[in-house]
Chain A
Amino acid sequence: AQSVTQLGSHVSVSEGALVLLRCNYSSSVPPYLFWYVQYPNQGLQLLLKYTSAATLVKGINGFEAEFKKSETSFHLTKPSAHMSDAAEYFCAVSDFRGNEKLTFGTGTRLTIIP
């Protein structure tokens, strides 16, 4: 069975500071990994995904994530936080062995301090 753990249900950073949202996964086969963002009262939007190509993945809005197999991690980073980054962020895993079920983490709420 696959699973995702997001460390920190709430993260606060100052505007302009580094954003680091942590995600660790568990999967018995090479995983596909995703980060989604959810703005208030909206659906989920894909930020980026890892599908066994380059381990450093760049996404939209200046976000990137690095797949580290040895650490079973897929942390999300952004060098400089912007007020518009305030949202809920979800890490998700899938094994895509014919089962495309996405298993989500519990989410991290990112607050940006002016």
Chain B
Amino acid sequence: DTAVSQTPKYLVTQMGNDKSIKCEQNLGHDTMYWYKQDSKKFLKIMFSYNNKELIINETVPNRFSPKSPDKAHLNLHINSLELGDSAVYFCASSQVRADTQYFGPGTRLTVL
């Protein structure tokens, strides 16, 4: 069973479109995260949720909106996509706020 899963794995879209990436974890963890990895492999946290409550919100354009319907899911919705949004987006989860984070396989977003 996949611990942290993301859909879709690849997403190709046009500028200006709105898209969503879904993340699910079956580890029973309380905390979930979204990270962005750019073309130079640099990883930066975007958001973190603990029991459906937003606890980390880095300097991210408000076109990005996370949603956590329950503690096993954390989705990322992106409005008005821009070329600079092209990246690999990783979801992660951890049992408690001071523990190892487990990463999903990533979603490669390409904005044309």
Contact = CB atoms under 8 A, between A and B. Distances in A.
B94 interface: yes
Interface in B35-90: 40-45, 48, 56, 90
A31 B86 CA distance: 32
Given A100-B97, A101-B48, A106 B56 contact: no
Interface residues of B, number: 23
Contacts, number: 52
> A43, A104, A106, A107 — which one has the most chain B CB atoms within 10 A of its CB?
A43
Interface in A66-114: 88, 90, 94, 96, 98-104, 106-107
B56 A101 contact: yes
A44 B98 contact: no
Contact of B101 (A42, A99, A102): A102
B98 A96 contact: yes
Q: For chain A, which range describes its interface: under 10, 10 to 19, 20 to 34, or 35 or more residues?
A: 20 to 34
Contact of A45 (B97, B98, B103, B106): B103
B9 to A, nearest CB: 9
B103 A104 contact: no
Contacts of B90: 43-44
Given A42-B105, A106-B40, A101 B45 contact: yes
> A45, A100, A103 — which one has the most chain B CB atoms within 10 A of its CB?
A100
Contacts of A49: 100
